[in-house]
Chains A and B, each alone.
Chain A
């Protein structure tokens, strides 16, 4: 009963969080490190890359991986490692911007629909139904065809497309939290809608929001790669993983398989790492998981 009163020891929250991450979620911690490396690659591409992404070395065309060129070189004699590092920059910008926009759109639509309900929910959800019946890639291709290729268009279109589709998940989560007795209790105390949304609904839908965000980072990077593969992506010579896969990677698949392997592996590892890191974050940020594993 009440006589087990022991104050929790004072601690620095961020340090404690890292300790728990490493102790309880080793895979999540490793994936977190990969995510950070990936971010750093994107941010410091200019410093990290041994060569420029368009620097041509005509004597070293289609060289397999070696000490001088760890990921090999492509058909024009460009260093694949440098191109992958610069490609990370494009992927970072597109992946995180589009995912952030998508999550913001999902949460806004989802919370408004679930909380307001009624005809507003009905109208918006029918619109979402209609939107979801279009494949995202088709919408992207149409917009890029009309507006021309460019990073801005890709981010906005991906963000909106993924955001509208994802609003369903958030709406469902908010609907279930809305039914809980603690929301009812907050209403009976006299709390206003804004407070209920910020203090009760949003913190309790953080789990799906985090998963949605990390999932969207991966999806956005893949979608951009898909677009580049189809030739609608960020225009060359900017290096993106998708364009590298579809360009030289496909054309020289037999002469130089590393041309496809290098960007393909980068893509796979990063998407996997972001997803696993997101799962670990979701579990650790839940106070109920504290002290258990």
Chain B
């Protein structure tokens, strides 16, 4: 599984995200609403994604990785920053403007049980994107496209008349992928697509994603909460912490030599698939919780939990520095 060499950001970038911020207001009062504060779910995220590239986004719960995905798909409104998809600035697009672009940008969801309408047959679930965009064609053409999409994702087209509850979790996730791919998108935002699956099924689904990318030339934003899952599929990996990217690097560089202490901690949390080695491996457990996303940001967000914290870390917020598209880290150890 050799990633293609073309991971440099160039004119062929499918997605550019610049200083993206998504703040959710906290309101008080039922009648006279006033803003009491804001949850800074995403607080300045910048990256680019090349055509055919996969960016893995990892981080613990609440670090803003899913919100980043939702903002790119314009399912939430960014507070600040810019998002350019295929060269078009979509930051301020409303839903009507987004509709034609949604053909090219699809989502795959975490929960394979909740993301399929239990009252619709698989056929209708996969047909829906085609109908919404008015490219269904005749009945025969529609049927053929559904069958092709199902076959591509490893589902037997004969199962099209079944309901979602008749399938296993892995099969349901295949249905979700078939729904996303039937429009032939160029970018697929995968929001923890394997987190809800059994470990044995996870590998199958990740392999399916890799296979489809290579066949269809897809670009992925692949969100996950551990580094083990994204390793196989990603060309580059962004590690997020409290609404920001703390380290972004090519996959092999990141795994060989993680720079940020948080990345190191995540790396140390990957279990070794050998019980004896696993029992003896040194553990580095990150203590405590991430700081509140509502309070003021003082110093590095990770300094209270960081094993390598210096006095400077409590006062000065590190910025992401390095070569764009190559490697960048936000840590005073690597200034």
Contacts and interface: CB of A to CB of B under 8 A. Distances in A.
A200 B119 CA distance: 8
B158 A185 contact: no
A288 interface: yes
B117 A200 contact: yes
A187 B100 CA distance: 13
A2 B165 contact: no
B128 interface: yes
A182 B119 CA distance: 11
Interface string B149-178: 000001111110111010010110010100
B132 A189 contact: yes
Contact of A290 (B100, B163, B174): B163
A180 B73 CA distance: 17
A7 interface: yes
B230 to A, nearest CB: 22
B170 A199 contact: no
A8 B161 contact: yes
Given A1-B170, A190-B103, A204-B117, A185 B109 contact: yes
A189 B102 contact: yes
B155 A2 contact: yes
B107 A185 contact: yes
B312 interface: no
Interface string B187-227: 00000000000000000000000000000000000000000
B158 A189 contact: no
Contact of B158 (A6, A191, A203): A6
Interface string A200-244: 100110100000000000000000000000000000000000000
B196 to A, nearest CB: 11
A195 interface: yes
Interface string A1-44: 11111111000000000000000000000000000000000000
B282 interface: no
Interface in B75-121: 75, 95, 98-100, 102-103, 106-107, 109-111, 114-120
Interface string A180-199: 11101111111110010001
A31 B183 CA distance: 47
Interface in A71-86: none
Contacts of B116: 182, 185
Contacts of A181: 109-111, 114-115
B86 to A, nearest CB: 16
Nearest to B189: A188
B156 A2 contact: yes
A7 to B, nearest CB: 4
Interface residues of B, number: 41
A199 B120 contact: yes
B73 A188 contact: yes
A287 interface: yes
A189 B128 contact: yes
A187 B75 contact: yes
B57 to A, nearest CB: 17
Given A3-B156, A7-B158, A195-B132, A288 B115 contact: no
Interface string A58-76: 0000000000000000000
A187 B132 CA distance: 10
A201 to B, nearest CB: 10
B119 A188 contact: no
A188 B103 CA distance: 10
B95 to A, nearest CB: 8
Nearest to B102: A190
A203 B119 contact: yes
Given A8-B161, A199-B120, A203-B119, A185 B179 contact: yes
A24 to B, nearest CB: 16
B133 interface: yes
Interface centre among B73, B159, B183 (most CB of A within 10 A): B159
B208 to A, nearest CB: 11
Nearest to B133: A190
B64 interface: no
A126 B87 CA distance: 47
B258 interface: no
A182 B126 CA distance: 12
Nearest to A179: B114
A5 B75 contact: no
A203 B163 CA distance: 14
A142 B102 CA distance: 55
Contacts of B261: none
B155 to A, nearest CB: 5
Given A181-B115, A184-B109, 9 more contacts: A4-B156, A5-B156, A181-B110, A181-B111, A190-B95, A190-B102, A191-B132, A200-B117, A287-B165
Interface of B: 73, 75, 95, 98-100, 102-103, 106-107, 109-111, 114-120, 128-129, 132-133, 154-159, 161-163, 165, 168, 170-171, 174, 176, 179, 183
Interface of A: 1-8, 180-182, 184-192, 195, 199-200, 203-204, 206, 287-288, 290
The 6 closest A-B pairs by CB, nearest first: A5-B156, A190-B102, A181-B115, A203-B119, A181-B114, A190-B99
29 contacts: A1-B154, A1-B170, A2-B155, A3-B156, A4-B156, A5-B156, A5-B159, A7-B158, A181-B109, A181-B111, A181-B114, A182-B115, A184-B75, A184-B109, A185-B107, A185-B109, A185-B176, A186-B117, A188-B73, A188-B75, A189-B106, A190-B129, A191-B128, A192-B132, A195-B132, A199-B128, A204-B118, A287-B163, A287-B165
